[in-house]
Chain A
Amino acid sequence: MPEALEHLLGDPWDPANPLGYAEIVAADERQEMFAEAEQRLDAYGMNAEFVPVEYGGRFSTLDRLARVMRAVWRRDPCLGLGYGASSFIASVNVWAAGSSEQRTAFAKHLLADRKIASVYHELAHGNDFARAELAAYGMRLNGRKEVVTNAQRADSLVIFARTSPDPGSRSHSQFLVDKADLPQDRMAYLPRFPSMGMRGVQLGGVVFTDCPIPDDAMIGMPGRGIETALRSFQLTRTALPSMIIGVLDTGLRTALRFTTGRRLYGRAAADIPYVRAIVAEAFADLLLCDAFCTVTARTLHRLPGLASVPASLVKYVVSQQLIDAMNRLSSVLGAHFYIRDGDHAIFQKLLRDLAVIGFGHAARVACLATVLPQTPLLAQRSWPAAEQPPDAIFQLGTELPPLPFDALAVSASGRDTLSAVPRSMLDETGLDPELRRLAALFATELRELTSEAGDLRPMETGVGASPEALAIPARLAAVLAASACLGVWRHAEGGFLADPTWVVAALTRLTARIGKGDGHLPAPLTRRLMSELLTRHEDSRGFDLTAGSIAG
């Protein structure tokens, strides 16, 4: 559980904690992975979080997995990626398409604390992995992969390679190989790629020269590589942004520690209205990101065939919301945000490390381009009908069926129920008037999108899509995020989550994404959010939806 991991890693602000921020920043300055923390994560059995329960691990639900990983990301994103997420990215291909033997072998590797690298990326092709060139004709690898996390220290590789020279979407496959099975002289490592952030992570590369691989290495059927990637990466596109929410938690904590201890212009910096507004808005951003991530993660369990749309759009929304919130918080820290030692030094590291979320594992615009061609069918088949989603996707902490990997689909085939939530709120009696006004804005937005997406010509939805056309999935993303917030609020059982404060703040923030507001929070809302935030800070509780106990 997150609490157990928090306890094991200890209070990061405590200078006496050998796993605290002082040591994390020091490891980053040395451009090294933080070895002591990796040993502690081994002791916790972190990899078991990525192994489905039926294969002996602790992966029960995707929203739980992401919440556990926030404890790592809020301390050190290099650990989050270099210890955790990179093996998780490799694993989902295997759970989704591997044979029973491959899944069992993969689970065994992970449970033995081994690393598995996801070998996809070629600098020349970026997100356009349908044009990836590394070839595996006749079970021999030829070519190179670049900026691959843990390429050198991983024991096993999941490799995405071309298995047919033909254009089209059936010309690639994945392979699961143990390095021990490859001849040493046919594989060479590229030097580490220098990077702005994630400086401890081993971002390397690998070159294969006529390298034979075992006959049983292919994952799934020949030529299904793109389909497997599009299906299984719905998990990672959802869970990674969700884990990374932990970074904003620390960003907020840094800002609170800084502003409550500092006096400017004759009063505590925390009492300056501008500072309070920025901090409260960042808190609202964190909550809306968590709501969208959590609901999408639960959708993957409950409505897997519909998840391709929210899974891409959650990456689009959350990456930008987190980066923007951290940038605004940096203005609160003033000159202190770029000083690389002392009590606030963790902030500049987080800011650098966070940048990777904007382009790593699917760039933001690629996420929009994936959804755009689906929008005409959504507009035709689902949006006017307004069927409601099942309650379970909004009920935090309630049980879900195991993630049905077989049911993941590359396209939602025009099915979406989440976007129907704002309109359904308008039928509720006694609704907070401001919440009603906001829900109506998003219901209207969906109506406008229905007509605009319905008018798109197919040529406008392909690679040559205009910024105006790409605005359609971007606006849909805001509608889905608002729907997720409304659903979580409506199904909350009490306390802060059942209070309209946070959901009004979240939707107010989101109005800026559809051009129907400036996103700024009115003073009374800021006051209530600050009160909640300071209470949680005082009580050592997380700033996300569940507000669980943390170690400082």
Chain B
Amino acid sequence: MDDLHKWLTHLVASYLEKDPDEISGSVSLATYGLDSVYAFVMCGDIEDHLDVRLEPTVAWDYETIDALADHLSSLVEQP
């Protein structure tokens, strides 16, 4: 979970070309300027990282890194 949160924070920071320390897990991705289409890029990167298949809209429904990390860990932990 912590690893996943950290990885997501680095991912978002890399999109924004910022330092991961500047990214808060509780701020919505839209507020950072990651608009609807970034969600598709992000979805692809998460799928590759976790080796899962996701709805392309997953980052629309879980709009912060905190929420997304929670959701993804529950998916990955399922048997």
Contacts and interface: CB of A to CB of B under 8 A. Distances in A.
Interface residues of B, number: 25
A180 interface: no
A170 interface: yes
Nearest to B61: A170
B30 interface: yes
B17 A463 contact: no
Nearest to A369: B37
Contacts of B14: 458
B60 A227 contact: yes
Interface in B18-44: 28-31, 33-41, 43-44
Given A166-B28, A168-B63, A410-B57, A461 B44 contact: no
Contact of A168 (B16, B17, B28, B41): B28
A463 B35 contact: yes
Contacts of B43: 411, 413
A328 B68 CA distance: 53
Contacts of B16: 459
A373 B28 contact: no
Contact of B56 (A167, A380, A413): A413
A463 B35 CA distance: 8
Contact of A458 (B29, B41, B56, B61): B41
A169 B36 contact: yes
A254 B45 CA distance: 53
Nearest to A170: B60
A195 to B, nearest CB: 30
Contacts of A409: 56
Interface in B40-79: 40-41, 43-44, 47, 56-57, 60-61, 63
Contacts of B33: 462
Interface in A446-505: 457-459, 461-463
Interface in A142-200: 166-170
A409 B47 CA distance: 16
A344 B38 CA distance: 49
Contacts of B36: 130, 168-169, 226
A258 B36 CA distance: 50
Contacts of A296: none
B74 to A, nearest CB: 19
Contacts of B57: 169, 227, 410
A169 B38 contact: no
Nearest to B60: A169
Given A461-B41, A462-B38, A411 B56 contact: yes
Contacts of B39: 169
A516 to B, nearest CB: 29
A377 interface: yes
Contacts of B35: 130, 169, 462-463
A414 interface: yes
User: Which size class do A's interface residues fall under?
Assistant: 20 to 34
A84 B65 CA distance: 45
A457 B45 CA distance: 13
A370 B37 contact: yes
A374 B40 contact: yes
A376 interface: yes
Contacts of B41: 373, 376-377, 458, 461
Nearest to A458: B15
B30 A168 contact: yes
A167 B44 contact: no
Given A169-B39, A227-B57, A413 B63 contact: no
Interface string A360-372: 0000000001101
B37 A462 contact: yes
A355 B48 CA distance: 43
B53 to A, nearest CB: 8
Nearest to A378: B44
A461 B38 CA distance: 8
Contacts of B17: 457, 459
A167 B31 contact: yes
Contact of B30 (A167, A380, A461): A167
A98 to B, nearest CB: 19
B11 to A, nearest CB: 9
A160 to B, nearest CB: 14
A377 B30 CA distance: 21
Interface string A206-230: 0000000000000000000011000
Given A168-B60, A169-B39, A413 B31 contact: no
Nearest to B47: A413
Contacts of A380: 44
A372 B43 CA distance: 15
Contacts of A372: 37
Which of A166, A169, A370 has its CB near the most chain B CB atoms (within 10 A)?
A169
Which of A380, A411, A457, A459 has its CB near the most chain B CB atoms (within 10 A)?
A411
B35 to A, nearest CB: 6
Given A168-B30, A226-B60, A377-B44, 11 more contacts: A166-B30, A169-B57, A170-B60, A170-B63, A373-B41, A376-B44, A410-B40, A410-B56, A458-B15, A461-B37, A462-B38
11 contacts: A166-B30, A167-B31, A169-B36, A170-B61, A170-B63, A370-B37, A413-B44, A413-B56, A414-B44, A459-B16, A462-B34
Interface of A: 130, 166-170, 226-227, 369-370, 372-374, 376-377, 380-381, 409-411, 413-414, 457-459, 461-463
A-B pairs, top 7 by smallest CB distance, nearest first, are A411-B56, A167-B30, A168-B30, A411-B40, A377-B44, A373-B37, A169-B60
Interface of B: 14-17, 28-31, 33-41, 43-44, 47, 56-57, 60-61, 63
